[in-house]
Chains A and B, each alone.
Chain A
Amino acid sequence: MNSLKHHIDSPEPTPHAAFSQYGAIQSAPGANGISNQVSSANQSAEPGHNEIDALLERHPGLWRGCDLAGQGQHGRSTGFASLDAILPGQGWPQKGLMEVIAPCWGTGELQLLMPLMRDVIAKGQWILWVSPPFQLYAPALEQAGIDTQQILVVDLDTSCKDALWTMEKALQNQHCGLVLAWQNWLPGKVLRRLQLAADTGDTLGVLFKHNDSKYSPSQVRLQIKDIPSADQHFSESEITLIKARGNFRPRRTRVQLQPRL
């Protein structure tokens, strides 16, 4: 990283100057010429850093090493260490659209997001549930440590078009920290629109679905699968990261979503 900075700083990178930077600390304070050089090198390092930032800002598509699985710190912790380890930025993305694919409801898809929900509520943001498949049960949320005062539910019987509209508006709204929606079979165009809305509103949207759709523009696509085990009381789920922006290939981990009974 350091050498990279120097490459950008000075048009002619002199290995001599780089060497003197380290040598100056040990050298006698009397060596004025050298210490001057060092200070000038330090000063020029600062604008160079800015230049990199500017470069990154200008080209958002620029890939960074910290985008790799388990690298960087720019994610929100999922609350599951093994899952953090395979997610870029070591956690859920700050904004964007995620797809959670579960073969049937009840496999712990909400348990997966509970730590995130607690985090959102603690920030004072709202959680919007758009047309959930069943009635949301408040005592369970309170047991999970989630304040129900910041939870809004949009009715089940609203049409798909309205539900998508609501979702888009909510994603654009900065007071909604998390938007959860249950929709199968959304075309890529719609998903891209939702992804854009989430980007502008700095909001995280989560789509729950039964089937995976290839080529979806969502930032993260993961699948939950139950692993049958001999001990019925102990259940573990396999989470496959089909896609996570930054990862090269699908990754897989095992997480215990449901508490042992």
Chain B
Amino acid sequence: MDDSDSSAQISLPAIPDRQGARIIALPVATPRRAPAQRPDQPAKTSRPALWYALYFPALVDLPDSDQQQALEKLAAVAESISSTVSYHPQALICEVRSSLKYFGGLETLHTRLQQPLQDCLVQLALPAEFFYAASPTVSGSLLLARSGHNILVYRPDNLRSALGQLSTDVLQLNKEQNRRLYNMGIRYLRDIWRLPTDGLRKRFGSELVNQLSKALGNAPEATHNYIPAPVFNSDYDLPYAIEQLDRLLPVADEMLSQLTEFLTARDLCTSQLLFQLLHEKREATAVKLGLRQPTRCRSHLLELLEMHFSSLDLPAPVIAIKLDVSNFDAFMGHSNSLLSGPAATPTPDKNSNLDLFMEQLRARLGGQPVRSIHSVAEHCPEYACQQLDFDAARNSHHINQQRPDDKLWLLPNPRPLWLLSQPQPLTVRHGRLYHRQPLCILRGPERIEARWWSGEDVRRDYYIARERNGSRLWIYHERQGERLWYLHGVFA
């Protein structure tokens, strides 16, 4: 699209025009070369940059973190028109000069973007309303967009007059500064430009002056670019269908080496990998690798994959393999000691090695087969021992550490190392207790009465008994109900 400024006419900012953009163009003096241009600088291209600003007024009410999240989502949409999307308060600014010709002008570009942006805003439960503007400077575009007039300015020469028509509200100054400007009789930006710069700097601080000079293109500006989240995808079509999984491993290894290169280049590591084994006329078999600790170690990943493969049943021959990784973590390296020597050699991280072991266990056994146990201060024997998943236990370590008087609540009476999950009833014959062989009581009773508050009334007399073959057992006699004898534990 040509910069057909000459055909346009001056228009004052009046009513915000939501439908179409109003092209403000001032009759320009004959284009002249900038006299200040230094000879060592490359000659400026005839087409200066063009920044397309999108301002989302609805974001103002959101908290900062939500704003950033919303902007990230919107930036992902805006990325379809520009490779440079910059974050600003409640606004996104895209560089569009380079893609203007491809899309065929700003108007098409805008219509292309409007619907996805509105959809995105609706998804975020925000009013689907936004303003846009374009100008050769970043701050200029931002100010124009904030005014809500949807103004497009193509030439740097027109920027000053276009900005001059804006109200001072677009500067988003604080209350005191606004009051001062008002008292000085300043309503529009053009009024500010009449003021001397040093006086302005003294009264309003250098930030305002800088902002204005950036908007006019007199000062360089920085952008805070949107960097899309990394995604790793790789697929490989096998030359022929494979039924043995171990023959897939070399291919998977090659993919993992690509992944590790990808991760190393970005200084990332990952803890979630998804392998998909594609079959003909059948749904793909997914192999999910979940790691306890993010890694980018190829051999470890391959080992885990091998373990997953060993427990996998293929429904059909595999024709292709796919690897997707979308969750990444920053890579945390260890520093080695500068000084060598026995004292300075870094001790291997105890937990990391254990974590590798746990991962292997989990990959092979599935689920959470590994448990750690803890004792709980509780009178009722079956509640005094808690089995926790290894992960959960690790998270609750600090709770245990908060119990310094560990020894205080230790019971004076011996407890068995083995506890039966269900007490086994004992038989009484001719007044003697029998388990497999006759029992004789060595010690007791120890009365435990607990949990009446939970509806499950535990009233028992515990005894330590000796079976004839030498086993020491922990038995109890119910004190209510049928008053039966039960075996509850084994002293090993």
Report whether chain A binds chain B: yes
B387 at the interface (CB under 8 A from A): yes
B416 at the interface (CB under 8 A from A): yes
From 117 to 159 in chain A, residues with beta carbon under 8 angstroms from any chain B beta carbon are 124, 126, 132-144, 148-149, 151-155, 158
Residue numbers in A under 8 Å from B390 (CB-CB): 152
The interface on chain B, measured as residues whose beta carbon lies within 8 A of the other chain's beta carbons, has a size of 51
- Cβ A237 vs Cβ B373 within 8 A: no
1/0 contact string of A240-256 vs chain B (CB within 8 Å): 00000000000000000
CB distance from A145 to the nearest CB of B (A): 10
CB distance from A261 to the nearest CB of B (A): 5
CB distance from B361 to the nearest CB of A (A): 6
- Cβ A166 vs Cβ B353 within 8 A: no
Known: A105-B418, A140-B415, A148-B374. A261 touches B397 (CB 8 A): no
1/0 contact string of A62-92 vs chain B (CB within 8 Å): 0000000000000000000000000000000
- Cβ B411 vs Cβ A175 within 8 A: no
The distance in angstroms between the C-alpha atoms of A213 and B275, with both chains bound, is 45
CB distance from A222 to the nearest CB of B (A): 15
The distance in angstroms between the C-alpha atoms of A162 and B369, with both chains bound, is 11
In the complex formed, the residue of A with least CB distance to B350 is: A175
In the complex formed, the residue of A with least CB distance to B436 is: A104
1/0 contact string of B461-492 vs chain A (CB within 8 Å): 00010111111110000000000000001111
CB distance from A113 to the nearest CB of B (A): 9
Residue numbers in B under 8 Å from A135 (CB-CB): 385, 387, 418-421
1/0 contact string of B361-393 vs chain A (CB within 8 Å): 100110001111111000001001111001001
In the complex formed, the residue of A with least CB distance to B407 is: A142
B343 at the interface (CB under 8 A from A): no
The distance in angstroms between the C-alpha atoms of A133 and B471, with both chains bound, is 15
B440 at the interface (CB under 8 A from A): yes
The distance in angstroms between the C-alpha atoms of A74 and B51, with both chains bound, is 78
Known: A155-B369, A155-B371. A143 touches B443 (CB 8 A): no
In the complex formed, the residue of A with least CB distance to B401 is: A149
- Cβ B375 vs Cβ A142 within 8 A: yes
Q: Which of B381, B387, B410, B443 contacts A142 (CB 8 A)?
A: B410
Q: Which of A136, A155, A174, A176 contacts B373 (CB 8 A)?
A: A136
Residue numbers in B under 8 Å from A106 (CB-CB): 418, 467, 470-473, 490-492
A103 at the interface (CB under 8 A from B): yes
CB distance from B385 to the nearest CB of A (A): 4
- Cβ A137 vs Cβ B417 within 8 A: yes
CB distance from B371 to the nearest CB of A (A): 5
- Cβ B370 vs Cβ A152 within 8 A: yes
The distance in angstroms between the C-alpha atoms of A232 and B466, with both chains bound, is 8
The distance in angstroms between the C-alpha atoms of A109 and B467, with both chains bound, is 15
Q: Which of A104, A111, A126, A133 contacts B354 (CB 8 A)?
A: A126
Q: Which of A151, A173, A226, A233 contacts B442 (CB 8 A)?
A: A233
Question: Taking beta carbons and an 8 Å cutoff, which residues of A are in contact with B?
Answer: 103-111, 124, 126, 132-144, 148-149, 151-155, 158, 162, 165-166, 169-170, 173-176, 225-228, 232-233, 235, 237, 258-259, 261
Q: List 22 A-B contacts (CB under 8 A).
A: A105-B490, A106-B472, A106-B491, A106-B492, A133-B418, A136-B385, A137-B416, A138-B375, A140-B414, A143-B411, A148-B373, A153-B371, A153-B387, A154-B369, A155-B371, A169-B357, A170-B357, A173-B357, A228-B468, A233-B442, A237-B470, A261-B442
13 extra A-B contacts, CB within 8 A, seeds A111-B492, A259-B414? A105-B492, A106-B491, A108-B492, A135-B418, A135-B419, A137-B381, A139-B375, A140-B417, A152-B372, A153-B372, A173-B357, A226-B470, A237-B470
Question: Taking beta carbons and an 8 Å cutoff, which residues of B are in contact with A?
Answer: 350, 353-354, 357, 360-361, 364-365, 369-375, 381, 384-387, 390, 393, 397, 400, 406, 410-411, 414-421, 440, 442-443, 464, 466-473, 489-492
